[in-house]
Structure formats: C-alpha cells, structure tokens
Amino acid sequence: MASLTIRKLDEHVKTYLRLRSAKNRRSVEEEVRVILRELIGGREEPLTPFSAPPAASAAPTLQRTSALPEASVTLIIGGGIAAYKSLDLIRRLKERRIEVRCVLTKAAQQFVTPLAASALSHERVYTDLFDPQSEFDAGHIRLARDCDLIVVAPATADLMAKMANGHADDLASAILLATNRKVLLAPAMNPLMWNNAATRRNVTQLQRDGVVLIGPNSGEMAEAGEAGIGRMSEAIEIATAAERLLRPPVPKPLAGKRVLITAGPTHEPIDPVRYIANRSSGKQGFAIAAAAQAAGAEVILVSGPVDLDDPQGVTVKHVESARQMLEQVQASLPADIAIFAAAVADWRVASEGEQKLKKTSAGMPPLQLVENPDILATISKLTDQRPPLVIGFAAETEHLIDNAKSKLARKGCDWIVANDVSPATGVMGGDRNTVHLISKNAEKNGEITVDSWPVMTKEQVAVELVAHIAESVTGKSGSPHLEH
C-alpha cells in the first residue's frame, strides 16, 4: 500500500489540511484518514479488493459504513474474571460515539462469549489469528491499524509479558505487535502477580515503549479473602481514559486573555429612515471572535448592524453608529488584545434630520459631513489603557501594501491585516479573503515585516490570525499555523 507524505503535498492542500485539522481538533494525519473514510463512506459501490476471490465477497471485511462515528477502538479482551466488566466498557465507549471492534483471546472466551461482545458492539468479534475469513485481507493487520486506539481490558500478566517481549502467536498479541496506534492497557491480576518482579519489569518496558496504563486499582480480589493492587479499573474510568487519548483536550492558548473585537459596518443616520454605511457583512470579525473564543479567550465583540448570529460564548454589544461603537469599545477596556475589523463609516452628517428629508423643487438637500472618531487610532494612542496588542484592518482597492504600511504608522497600531477589496476579488460580503499581515517588530527596531497568506475562507483567516496572536502574546501557537 502506498504511503503519503503530507510535507510533499501542494501548499494549498497543506494549508487546507492544517486549518481543517485544527478546527476539528485532530492531527493532520488523522484528518486525512477522516477525509478518506468520508470519501469511501459516501461511495455507492462497495469497494471490493481487486484480487479477492469471488467467495471472499461473502467474507466479513472491516469496511466502514457511511454513518461514520467519530472514533474507533479495537478492544482486546484478555482472559481474566474482570472480562465481564469489558462488556460494560463496550457500552461506555459506544455512548461516547466510539465504534468498538472486539478481539477475544482464547482465555477470555472462558469468561465472556463472542456472542455477548458482538451483540453489544454490533460488530463481528474476532478470535482467531488463523481465521481464513478475516485473514484473506490480512485481518490482523487491519484490526491493528484500522482504528484510532487499541484498548486491552483486562490486560492480563500473560498478555503484558507477551507484548513487552514482542510475541505474536495469537490474534491479540499479533495485533499488538503490528499496530502503530496508541495502546491503552487496563491491567487486572492478582496482587502477587502485579508485584512480581517479572510483571514489574514488563510494566516498565511497556511504559518505555509508549504504552499507556490505567489502573490497576486496589481492592478486593475475586479470590476469596485476597485484596491489594490488581483490580481492573472500572469501565467508566477506562472509557474516560480512552476518550482522553482519542480526543485530547484542545489547547487554549488564549485562556485568561481578554480580546476586544469590532466588526461589521456602522450606520450613520441622515434622518430617521436613511443612513450612510459601508459594505461590510461582518463575517471576518465574527469569525475572529469565534476563533478567539475557541482558543480560550474572553471575547467582547462590538458589532455594527449585521445579519449574523452572535457567536457562542462571546459577549456581543450591538451598536449602530461609529460614536456608539467607540463608546462601547472604551467601556469594554481593559483588554489584552484589540482587533478592529469593523468597516467604520468615516463621515456622518453634521446634524441628523429629525424628520424624513423631503424632495423639494429646490433640489437636493445639502448634506454637511463631519468626520467620525477613528476608533483604532484613538485606542492605539491611549497612554493608560492601551491594549498590549492592537490590530487594525486595511481594506484597500489599490497600492495595498504601501497603503497598509502607512496606515500602520498613522494609526499607531502594532499589526495591520491588509486585504484587497477591489470588486473583482469578491471579498466584500464574500466568504474568502486574501490577506497580508503587516507587523511592526518591536525587537528589531520597529522593522516592518509583510507576511502574505494564501487565499482562504474567512474562518481560516480567523484561525490563522488567532494562532499568530497566541504565539505573539504567549509564545504558544493556538493551532498549527502556516509555514511560509
């Protein structure tokens, strides 16, 4: 089977994969696997191995169905009295939307039946290394790799010894030797066996090999009158440990940081029914708010009139005009990071008509315009409450980089996100954006650097910007961000 080196993929494919994997909280490799599964799951024709003999079509394959769960586990049930708890473990894993395929050792079948495991997992159960039905397509290799995690429960002293020494003389040990997935062991044995020097050596070796152990707990043994360390962890504990390995907690690099964001247009009233406005959907600012919130920040979003739902977990202050926006921004300080993505109207009419202006034969009513406060410049130039990182946007239709650089200096902010909004780009109101991050490098005598990103969706731009912010304010990246 061919292998795929993600590093060698086209730049835009890599970017897509990084952003999608960051969003879904998976590794890039795992994301590729999910995409491939989705592709296969969506096929109408079943994929039959090219060289499979005709009879093989009746053989059980490990093909997945289109209703794909989020994660899958190969559960190896070893031979010990604790095996009965593994039946509950199947249920606990399935409750967490984890697909389970069971392998029962010969000894395990003395305690639980393949039928019970199959009924609970809704999958065929595997017991034999030399089962021609599953081995026609190297079933033990597929059980070892066509899953996200291998759980061994109960992990008996014998299974652990075999694993520590690389044996492969039955299906369970062959899977454990052939896998490149993480392995979680839930040991269960008599306390004397657990404390035996041989088991101690094997545990140390397995931990050195990267195997994760849960338990054993201490308590009563099945053997009358015996107690000590050796009881298998409860099903719920094992399922929680498995889930933590499958879905590691998302890093929250902006935890404890307060982020203030402006978004959308402002409406500057002319009279009770008319207003001056900019063409802005607010999508980019809202996406940044959502990405900052996902990175653990406390987010305050001051938004002009938009047709978007408030992002979850974000405090949204809705305003109409530039002056109201400035007021709410000032009221929201202090902040660690301020991002000004709003398309604020530069002018407003000097005196708003109390009644609707009427068309008259005298011609157009004169509209006296006055300049609006510049919110970005006002906040950038604060001496007491200036946020340590202030970011502005520059939407330009010509001389993008030069205009953005002079805006950086004029407004006094630290970074400018510059984008070309000339009508041909479709950026205004659209879903995609091509941006350049222009920053002043404090460590290099204020030297200005320009970082040009490939075309992305506004959500991707947001994730990428938040990753840069996280790196800048904490030294930690919020998601795997782009290498240029």
57 with 72: CB under 8 angstroms? no
Q: Does 342 bind ligand C5P (CB under 6 A)?
A: yes
Q: Does 322 bind ligand C5P (CB under 6 A)?
A: yes
Q: Does 392 bind ligand C5P (CB under 6 A)?
A: yes
Least gap, CB of 325 to ligand C5P (angstroms): 8
- List all residues 6 or more positions away from 53 whose beta carbon is below 8 Å from its beta carbon: 136
Least gap, CB of 436 to ligand C5P (angstroms): 14
**CA angle, 424 then 426 then 429, to 5°:** 150
Q: Does 284 bind ligand C5P (CB under 6 A)?
A: no
Residue 147 or 342 having the CB closest to ligand C5P: 342
Residue 262 or 332 having the CB closest to ligand C5P: 262
160 with 76: CB under 8 angstroms? no
Provide the 10 A C-beta neighbour count for residue 166.
Answer: 10
Q: Does 375 bind ligand C5P (CB under 6 A)?
A: yes
- List all residues 6 or more positions away from 224 whose beta carbon is below 8 Å from its beta carbon: none
Stretch that binds ligand C5P, among 174-182, 186-194, 236-244, 388-396 (CB under 6 A): 388-396
Q: Does 376 bind ligand C5P (CB under 6 A)?
A: yes
Distance (Å) of CA 325 to CA 345, 359, 382: 11, 31, 17
Q: Which of 278, 372, 419, 433 is catalytic?
A: 278
Q: Does 421 bind ligand C5P (CB under 6 A)?
A: no
Angle at which helices 235-246 and 83-95 cross, to 10°: 50
Q: Does 344 bind ligand C5P (CB under 6 A)?
A: yes
- List all residues 6 or more positions away from 88 whose beta carbon is below 8 Å from its beta carbon: 235
Residue 79 or 265 having the CB closest to ligand C5P: 265
E strands present in 205-248: 212-213, 217-220, 227-231
Say whether 430 sits in a helix, a strand or coil: coil
Stretch that binds ligand C5P, among 155-163, 170-178, 338-346, 442-450 (CB under 6 A): 338-346
Residue 148 or 374 having the CB closest to ligand C5P: 374
Stretch that binds ligand C5P, among 31-39, 120-128, 214-222, 386-394 (CB under 6 A): 386-394
x/- contact string, 436-465, with ligand C5P (CB under 6 A)?
------------------------------
Least gap, CB of 393 to ligand C5P (angstroms): 4
**Could you give the CA distance from residue 116 to residue 398 in angstroms, rounded to a whole number?**
70
Q: Does 372 bind ligand C5P (CB under 6 A)?
A: yes
Q: Does 319 bind ligand C5P (CB under 6 A)?
A: no
Size of the site for ligand C5P (CB under 6 A): 14
Length of the chain: 484
| DSSP 8-class letter at 318 | E
Structure token pair of residue 136: 């026609």
Q: Does 420 bind ligand C5P (CB under 6 A)?
A: no
Least gap, CB of 374 to ligand C5P (angstroms): 4
**Could you give the CA distance from residue 189 to residue 193 in angstroms, rounded to a whole number?**
6
Residue 294 or 322 having the CB closest to ligand C5P: 322
Provide the 10 A C-beta neighbour count for residue 348.
Answer: 22
**CA angle, 419 then 422 then 424, to 5°:** 115
**Could you give the CA distance from residue 325 to residue 344 in angstroms, rounded to a whole number?**
9
**Is 278 among the catalytic positions?**
yes
Catalytic residues: 278
* Residues in touch with ligand C5P (CB under 6 A): 262, 322, 340, 342, 344, 346, 372, 374-376, 392-394, 407
